[in-house]
Structure 1
Amino acid sequence: MRNHIVVIATILLNYVVVNKMNTIEPDENSHTKEMYHNEFIGKFISFLYRYEQIFIGKKIEPYGIGSGQFPFLMRLYLEDGINQESLSSHQKIDKGTTTRAIQKLVDEGYVFRQRDKKDRRSYRIFLTEKGKKLEPEMKKIASEWEEILFSSFDDNQRREIKNALGIMFETISQRM
């Protein structure tokens, strides 16, 4: 999910930078200049999300999984053994989608489910050795995507984008 947040932050802050601060302007001949001024910002977010899915999907296809499993693996690298319901909640993804994504990871041998000892109705999700071995490659893919997203920004702008995204995320979280 962190990558999704970075995507949204990049789009929103690029929009703000271009339209409000005038510190970055597309070329006069660029079709993006007109887009920046006339399009609904949700469209940019949607496009970036789709591009992210394509990029990640191509990169992880050799491992037998798709872009839908990627955010779950990334979360498990931070919190191996997380409760499946908490994983779903943290990722802001419905339980059915989470179950299908986890099942794919189970089928490919990257994770396993174990009944929660405190709550026998729920499961905890753990990485297998095979899943743990993928961590450097998955993190490399995430870094490559982030580098592509931020390639037009200096370090200060990157920090500002991430900070603004965090603020936007908190604002939306409180309203939803």
Structure 2
Amino acid sequence: MKNHEGSIVKCNSVLYRYGQSYISKRLEFLNIGSGQYVFLMTLFRTGGISQEELSKYLRIDKGTTAKAIKKLEEAGYVIREIDLRDKRAYKVYLTPKAVEVISTIQAAAKEWENIITSGLSEEEKQWVEKILLKMSENGYNFKFEDEEINE
């Protein structure tokens, strides 16, 4: 970064944008966007869950989740089935096509992590992860006086 002055927010924003760009380029041939791979990885870890549960788990608004799931469904990576316990809801599942590309997605994410932690010791990496987790918790737990931004 040319300008070494900056806040935590600015640095976080830069890392996020570069990371999204990197992941997009790496997964472009699979027709998976940077905003979609997190849904695939979450479904891989959790199995079939509802779109609402996905939104809560990822702390992403329902509209964004719906758009991402629709694109992934059109690309053949997920299927939606009516939840037998709640006929108004759908459970989302990975297709075999999605399962086949999980290792590629994991590799791209790991490559990005290796790029941004290049030159850091293992101790520094653990320290950064611990701090970022705490900052994420702080952001998640923050509430405006009149509303929650997390729901």
TM-score (norm 1): 0.77
For residues 44 and 60 of structure 1, the distance between their equivalents in structure 2, rounded to whole angstroms, comes to: 24
Larger radius of gyration: 1
Between the aligned partners of 2:15 and 2:2, the Cα distance in structure 1 is 16
Quote the residue 2:16 is aligned against.
Answer: 49
Distance 1:142 1:47, change over 3 A: same
Give the CA RMSD over aligned residues.
Answer: 1.4
Please report how far the alpha carbon of residue 74 of structure 1 lies from its aligned counterpart in structure 2 after TM superposition: 1.2
- Any gaps of 5 or more consecutive residues in structure 1? 1-29
Letter in 2 for 1:91: L
| Aligned partner of 1:63 among 2, 15, 30 | 30
Please identify, of 114-123 and 54-63, the stretch whose mean Cα deviation from structure 2 is larger.
114-123
Counterpart for residue 157 of structure 1: 124
Kindly provide the CA deviation profile for residues 50-83 of structure 1, in whole angstroms up to 9, marking residues without a partner as x. Answer: 1011100001110112111111111111112021
Inter-partner Cα distance in structure 1 for 2:47 and 2:26: 23
Question: 1:147, CA displacement in angstroms?
Answer: 0.7
Aligned partner of 1:108 among 75, 84, 88: 75
Higher relative contact order (CA 8 A, sep 6+): 1
Rounded Cα–Cα distance in structure 1 between residues aligned with 2:62 and 2:95: 22
Among candidates 136, 139, 142, match of residue 103 of structure 2: 136
Tell me how far 1:31 sits from its aligned partner.
3.9
CA shift for structure 1 position 152? 2.4
Q: Structure 2: which amino acid aligns with 1:107?
A: E
Structure 2: tracts of 5 or more residues without a match: 144-151
SS in structure 1 at match of 2:10: helix
User: 1:23 is matched with which residue?
Assistant: none
Q: Percent identity?
A: 39
TM-score scaled by structure 2?
0.89
Give the helix-richer structure, 1 or 2: 1
Question: Per-residue CA shift, 1:83-139, capped at 9, x if unaligned?
Answer: 110101111211111111001110011110011111111111100000100111111
Counterparts of 1:6-155 in structure 2, within 5 Å, are 31-33=2-4, 35=5, 39-155=6-122
1:27-69 residue CA offsets vs partner (Å, 9 max, x unmatched): xxx8444x2xxx2321211111110111000011101121111
Work out the number of aligned pairs and report it: 143
Q: Distance in 1 between matches of 2:2 and 2:32?
A: 35
Alignment partner, residue 18 of structure 1? none
